[in-house]
Structure 1
């Protein structure tokens, strides 16, 4: 028979493990989707002759990646909710509001980008006998990239920054992880639209953060970290 004193301790350990696992899965799924979309629907001079327009295998790969985006979004929401629960009543209300709001907008914008990319992939290609309008292809491609790199990644920057600052203030994140989060936020804020593949720093940060949460959850004693 369990005691009332033991229940909160077990909950405190289960919550970070759940958050870490959800974060790891989210990071892997989002990274895979970004890579496949980048390869199948490129930017710049290669856009007009993108392999996804003529190669069925590449189209299927991009479709599979886009099918994982809703699952990644669900895992991200789970990760966000459990992290807020882990922070508890001591959270900074202002930063917590910004953190939650930016996370919700990120998911919504990511879904919009995936929907635009799905429309591009579903467009007819030459082998089907019905050639998609180049203007329609270019519009869908630009919309997908702009939603992901111009809007979703900037919301990810706000999410990363607010969580890093809040974690530092409440001493639940070490200083090195706070600095890493701020660097990732700056990269997403200023370089995501101009530097190809820069958006991969967000799932990489989520993976590092999740690994840290899982490591802390496996230790005995309180979860709070020192600022060393």
Structure 2
């Protein structure tokens, strides 16, 4: 029997590393933004001048995080190969791409607020309220709903294919439901999606290390068999 090629070893590691980079950068960006920007109902716009440098730094992290997330999706799909179910794969890819696109648009809108806030009169204008509401809704409502859908579909793919530990799928369902119901009203739910991606990525990395360690190969016999689509 021919053993795995080097590419089969590198693919899950690449997915795990990309997921870890995405999660750490998004956690850092969200932490900085939530610390700097006031809640929407009480936001007077002072952060756009007093904390502009911190917000600008957080916004610079988001494009790198988005590219890492797209790489995470790509290498996972490559890993699944013919075991990938077309229905789940479509929703998995679509929700992931929409999440990245919405986050990018929200970041660009926030950056435009920083630029416009160089005029002190801007924060008292209706335009500020419009831009602020736009960035809030893009992030907390639309992007995070797509993140919840991504967690649901990715968790279903974990159950069907067993490419990582099944408990991460249960965690994904729980966190996805929390995000779906509360993202627009509870700010800390922003952290749940990157935390779940970080958990899945670390689990993939640990499992891959066990598979490549001769002393631990036998310990992985309990992993579920690959999903074989019905003919």
Tell me, yes or no, whether TM beats 0.5. Answer: yes
Q: CA deviation at 1:135?
A: 1.4
CA distance in 1, matches of 2:78, 2:29: 28
1:213 corresponds to: 204
Give me the CA root mean square deviation. Answer: 2.0
Deviations 1:129-150 (A, max 9, x none): x421431221111111100010
Q: CA deviation at 1:54?
A: 3.5
Q: Is the 8 A contact 2:22 2:65 kept in 1?
A: yes
Other structure's SS at 1:226 match: coil
Match for 1:16 among 12, 25, 30? 12
1:66 corresponds to: 59
Match for 2:223 among 209, 223, 226? 226
Q: Is the 8 A contact 1:172 1:225 kept in 2?
A: no
Q: Is the 8 A contact 1:95 1:162 kept in 2?
A: yes
Q: 1:1-228, aligned counterparts within 5 Å?
A: 5-6=2-3, 8-48=4-44, 50-55=45-50, 58-125=51-118, 130-132=120-122, 133-220=124-211, 221=217, 226=223
2:228 corresponds to: none
CA distance in 2, matches of 1:91, 1:186: 24
Q: Is the 8 A contact 1:171 1:224 kept in 2?
A: no
TM-score, with length taken from structure 2: 0.87
CA distance in 1, matches of 2:181, 2:222: 30
Question: Across the two proteins, how many residue pairs are aligned to each other?
Answer: 217
CA distance in 2, matches of 1:225, 1:79: 25
Q: Is the 8 A contact 1:173 1:224 kept in 2?
A: no
- Runs of 5+ consecutive residues of structure 2 not aligned to the other structure: 212-216, 225-231
Q: CA deviation at 1:76?
A: 0.5
Q: CA deviation at 1:5?
A: 3.7
CA distance in 1, matches of 2:29, 2:181: 22
TM-score, with length taken from structure 1: 0.88
